[in-house]
Structure 1
Amino acid sequence: MSVLKKLVTLMRGSVREIGESVVDANATRIYEQEIVDAKHNVAQARGDLTGVMAKEMQSAREIERLRGEVARYEGLALEALNKQQEGLAEEVAGRVAELEKELDEQTRSHATYAVQVVRLKELIKGAEAKIREHERQIVMAKTTESVYRATRSIADSIDGTGSKLVSAKESLERIRQRHEDLADRMTAAEQLENEVGSKALEAKLAAAGIGEGADRRAAIMARIRSRQAGSTAGADVPPAAQGEPGSA
């Protein structure tokens, strides 16, 4: 039996924790709805206030009517006395007593309505001031939540292990690695071509003095030396001998 009670207690605790987590996750929304409910209650209070004010005005009119009736019947009683109608005057006085009793009741009701009007006005005024303050607070709370969300998003983008910036950095590293791999492959292909390809064979032939370009450098040097020798020979002939006619 104690185990069952503990299980029930555990379930109650779990439900409480779940409820608290839900409330915490939706605290701003709940707060905003509470403000809406408070504004609705104030609107109802305003309706009640108008009803009480209407009753106050009605009681004021009734008081004026009763006062007029009392004054009228007192005048009638006085007129009956003047005409020696004592019994009639007594009857009218009874009616005046009834009117004065009703007047007293209306006066008390009017005073009660007046107090209620003042009290309701103060309550509504205070409630509206608190609502305005809560509305300012909810705006601040929403702004703060937006800032926290933006800050958390930025932090996740910069520092998070699964962030977009980290993913972008990894993509850049993969691109660089691919480029380096491509460059290495091109360098290796060139080295292989130089070692075992046609370029390697041409290099071996040139080193052995075989092929079209083997003696090109020597031929060019021979041509240059020949031109040099020709120009030197022309410079050794005297000018007079060069210009003498018939000299062979």
Structure 2
Amino acid sequence: MNIWAKMITALRGGVNEAGEAVVDSQALRILDQEVRDAGEELKRSKDSLAEIMARQKLAEEKCKQLQKSIEEHEGYALKALEKGDEKLAHEVAEHIAGFENNLTMERESAQNFAQSVEQLRAAINQAEKNIKRLKQQVDTVKATENVQKAQVAVAERHSGSDSKMRTAMESLERIKERQALKDAQIKAAGELAQTTGDESLKSKLEAAGITTSGSSADDILARIKNKKSPE
């Protein structure tokens, strides 16, 4: 296969993939339309059923009328025979034969219509069940689609929230570190100020001839002698 044939094949593949992507993105809309089309077909089938049932009813009515005409003309033929008019009776019999032929055809038509009605009614009942089941499945698919969209949205928001939460926690930790450092600086400054104040006072006392050192050994011994009770 030369390069041009490969390029054409690749383009055809790209067009096919693009078409499939469009179909997938519009799947629910297409499915809804297909369900509506099936409903329209079912409606037309019901209209056809109603028409066939009407034709069946007309054929049955014709059968009743023909049967009535046959019985009526049989009475005429009997009366003609009673009067001895063989020719008239034969003529009436010819009419009866025509009625019976028509009755046979109308009965066949009525039977054919009845069979068609039975078959079409069964097909319509099955189609109604199929469409009902299809609509239920479409509702399930739509509900699943909505749930999945919600889950995707929640997942995306959760992912974004995690990122923002991490950023906020990092900012909070930095603030805490700055506050801890500031607090330590304040304490150190206080301790430094107190130490400096004590040394300054000690220097002033020593300059005035006032010692701030602890008691000497002679002082301690004199204190002990004073505590000793006389013998």
- TM-score for the superposition, normalised by structure 2: 0.72
Deviates more, 1:174-183 or 1:100-109: 174-183
The percentage of aligned residue pairs carrying the same residue is 27
Deviates more, 1:111-120 or 1:140-149: 140-149
Q: Compared with structure 1, are the counterparts of its residues 84 and 11 closer, same or farther at alpha carbon in structure 2 (3 Å cutoff)?
A: farther
**In 1, Cα distance between the equivalents of 2:174 and 2:127?**
68
Amino acid at match of 1:207: E
Q: Any unmatched runs of 5+ in structure 1?
A: 219-228, 237-248
How far is the alpha carbon of 1:66 from its aligned partner? 0.7
Q: Compared with structure 1, are the counterparts of its residues 7 and 205 closer, same or farther at alpha carbon in structure 2 (3 Å cutoff)?
A: closer
1:47-95: CA deviation from partner (whole Å, max 9, x where unpaired): 2212211221221111001110111112212322332333333332232
Q: Compared with structure 1, are the counterparts of its residues 12 and 77 closer, same or farther at alpha carbon in structure 2 (3 Å cutoff)?
A: farther
How far is the alpha carbon of 1:32 from its aligned partner? 3.4
How far is the alpha carbon of 1:135 from its aligned partner? 2.7
1:14-58: CA deviation from partner (whole Å, max 9, x where unpaired): 332222112222323333332233233223322221221122122
- Give the corresponding residue for 2:59: 59
Contact 1:46 1:124 in 2 (8 A): yes
Which of 198, 209, 222 is the equivalent residue of 1:206?
Answer: 198
Which of 174, 181, 192 is the equivalent residue of 2:178?
Answer: 181
Moved >6 Å (runs of 4+): 2-8
Amino acid at match of 1:19: G
Larger RCO of the pair (alpha carbons < 8 Å, separation 6+): 2
- Give the corresponding residue for 2:14: 14
**In 1, Cα distance between the equivalents of 2:32 and 2:136?**
11
How far is the alpha carbon of 1:175 from its aligned partner? 2.8
How far is the alpha carbon of 1:185 from its aligned partner? 4.4
Answering whether residue 100 of structure 2 is matched by residue 100 of structure 1, we say yes
- Give the corresponding residue for 2:167: 170
**In 1, Cα distance between the equivalents of 2:25 and 2:115?**
44
**In 1, Cα distance between the equivalents of 2:102 and 2:110?**
12
How far is the alpha carbon of 1:5 from its aligned partner? 7.7
Deviates more, 1:200-209 or 1:94-103: 200-209
- TM-score for the superposition, normalised by structure 1: 0.68
Contact 1:52 1:113 in 2 (8 A): yes
**In 1, Cα distance between the equivalents of 2:9 and 2:66?**
68
Q: Compared with structure 1, are the counterparts of its residues 77 and 5 closer, same or farther at alpha carbon in structure 2 (3 Å cutoff)?
A: farther
**In 2, Cα distance between the equivalents of 1:10 and 1:77?**
88
**In 2, Cα distance between the equivalents of 1:165 and 1:124?**
56
**In 2, Cα distance between the equivalents of 1:27 and 1:153?**
20
Answering whether residue 134 of structure 2 is matched by residue 137 of structure 1, we say no
Contact 1:56 1:114 in 2 (8 A): yes
How far is the alpha carbon of 1:117 from its aligned partner? 0.6
Contact 1:205 1:211 in 2 (8 A): no
